[in-house]
Amino acid sequence: MTTVRLLLADDHPVVRAGLAGMLGMEPDLEVVGEAGDGEEAVVMARALRPDLVLMDLRMPRLDGAGATARIVAELPGVRVLVLTTYDTDGDILRAVEAGATGYLLKDTPRAQLAEAVRAAARGETVLAPPVAGKLMTQVRGPGERLTRRETEVLALVAKGLSNPAIGAELHIGEATVKTHLLNVFTKLGVDDRTRAVTVAYERGLLPPPGR
């Protein structure tokens, strides 16, 4: 069994300790170092040559994207997997442009995180679903066509109906309504219901109010 050597970079000691404890339970994962900021992460990556750096984004002295760019440029054999609480478009793009192999959120379950670490260490791209959706929207540009059902859901949102009311109106479950709305948000490049309706009106995806 090949062991994946990990360097943890996060400015919160409790987070580092939690990650070290979780990942250390896996027989093929070994935490070889911990860094408290981006500068320290770069220095330790040079010294330890880990297989993978698990990198937070918002850190003092040098942020995660800056540290990622330096590590990837200086140490081609070292992969970087971003693990953060932030999933804004700007954060995602900066990390990907810096050369990160993947981008996960800190609410990722332990088993999925361990698998993602293994995959990223192999050089595979690993993205949390919300991150993948936002990244694809940036790459494609907003404007992908809505399905008939997505349009029906959005039209009822425009009328002020709640998710349970929309589900009752269309005879679908509330979870299905939420899924359709998430797809709409991704396709329109928005983050909330109000903005989705506004953009839909602007692009002629819904008839103007009052018609």
Dihedral sign, CA of 17, 21, 26, 31? positive
Q: Residue 144: what pLDDT? A: 60
CA 71/CA 115 separation, integer angstroms: 22
Length of the chain: 211
CA 153/CA 8 separation, integer angstroms: 43
Q: Residue 55: what pLDDT? A: 97
Q: CA–CA distance from 54 to each of 19, 43, 131, 152 (Å)? A: 9, 15, 17, 42
Question: 5-9, 134-138, 182-186: which range is least confident on average?
Answer: 134-138
Share of the chain above pLDDT 70, in %: 92
Q: Residue 1: what pLDDT? A: 63
Dihedral sign, CA of 33, 38, 42, 43? negative
Question: pLDDT of 158-172, one tens digit each?
Answer: 999 999 999 999 999
Mean pLDDT calculated for residue range 184-189: 87
pLDDT value at 136 more than 60: no
Q: Residue 178: what pLDDT? A: 92
pLDDT value at 141 more than 60: no
Question: pLDDT of 92-122, one tens digit each?
Answer: 878 888 999 999 999 999 999 999 999 999 9
Task: Give me the domains of the chain, ranges plus CATH numbers.
Answer: 4-139 (3.40.50.2300), 148-202 (1.10.10.10)
